[in-house]
A and B are shown apart, each in its own frame.
Chain A
Amino acid sequence: MQQFDLEIDERSKANLLLAAHWAKNIAIGSFFLIGIVVLGSIFLGIKNSFVGNYFSNSQLSSLFENGILSVSLFLFFGILCFVLILYINLLLKFSKKVVSGINNNDITEITDGFRSLKSYFLITGIIMILGLIADIFSFF
């Protein structure tokens, strides 16, 4: 029989399954929210109301007329959405791997799930540190 460093009992399995279930819900909900923001932005972009009105009296308006800033903003927004989707996908991966690992008694899959969870928390932590630095700078 294989020896493990730390055993998972029945209650742990049930708790992990529920945590994975809710993690899946959070991930799907977040995908929906990103979708709503993307659709809203496309809608506003087509109407050209937000960017056009917001910067109409500023020096940036000529850049918008040339399309340079619009394209840059669009590219930046697209890359941001892509990174966000990859980030949330880690949570979905954790959920899928843990559920399938527990159902098949496969520890390799659970370990993979924990790796995704670690990456998810690591990225969240880095975002938090960046936010804190931005907060500190905003005081000056």
Chain B
Amino acid sequence: MENYQQETGATPEQNLFNFGIEHQGLEYLKSSAKWEKFMAIVGIIWISIAILFLVFGGSYLSTLMMSQSMRGLEGVDGTPTALAGGIMTGVFIFYALLLAVLLIPNIYRLKFANNCIRAIANSDTEMLTKSFKNLRVYSTFWGILTIITLSIYAFMIVFLLIGMATYATV
């Protein structure tokens, strides 16, 4: 409760009042949940196909990429060396992990949507709480990802400026 008070600034007396969502708000929530369900399902299918393609089509992709970007790493007879193979495996594992991480928010958004639709259909407060919890986890995930992306951009800009300054002084 103390934690809640710090976050909301509301006193416990204020919270004793009956507080809930009216018909219009429920319509908005239902519509949001339906779109979220659609996007979550499409996202999960898309990522699963990409992971399957990486796992089963890996050898085809590595041959294709090897011929395009790994020139110089072939052996004497033209076959790929262990180094080239290792690099390609590393790249595939990185992409597979990235895709697996991107599955997490889609699972939470699907949970939010399902719980929200069920809560509205059955007027179930407990289910609504669960759905908002999933929405919270989903937003937290994307929030952290946004901060990481911004940090990477900040590093890139700093290194770019250092590079330009060094180039100018040479």
Q: How far is the CA of A1 from the CA of B18 in the complex (A)?
A: 7
Shortest CB distance A100–B (Å): 10
Total cross-chain contacts (CB, 8 A): 151
Determine the chain A residues whose CB is within 8 A of the CB of B9 once the complex forms.
103
Task: Tell whether B129 is near chain A: CB-to-CB under 8 Å.
Answer: yes
Task: Tell whether B163 is near chain A: CB-to-CB under 8 Å.
Answer: no
Interface residues of A in 1-19 (CB under 8 A from B): 1-19
Q: Are A114 and B32 in contact (CB under 8 A)?
A: yes
Q: How many residues of A contact B (CB 8 A)?
A: 44
Q: How far is the CA of A105 from the CA of B13 in the complex (A)?
A: 11
Determine the chain A residues whose CB is within 8 A of the CB of B19 once the complex forms.
4, 7-8, 13, 105, 107
Task: Tell whether A74 is near chain B: CB-to-CB under 8 Å.
Answer: no
* 3 tightest A-B CB contacts, nearest first: A4-B20, A22-B143, A29-B146
Determine the chain A residues whose CB is within 8 A of the CB of B39 once the complex forms.
121, 124-125, 128
Other-chain residue from B20, B28, B140 in contact with A6 (beta carbon distance below 8 A): B20
Q: Binding site of A, secondary structure by majority: helix, strand, loop or mixed?
A: helix
Task: Tell whether A122 is near chain B: CB-to-CB under 8 Å.
Answer: yes
Determine the chain B residues whose CB is within 8 A of the CB of A29 once the complex forms.
143, 146-147, 149-150
Q: How far is the CA of A53 from the CA of B84 in the complex (A)?
A: 33
Other-chain residue from A1, A5, A13, A32 in contact with B8 (beta carbon distance below 8 A): A13
Q: Are B146 and A30 in contact (CB under 8 A)?
A: yes
Determine the chain B residues whose CB is within 8 A of the CB of A118 once the complex forms.
28-29, 31-32, 35
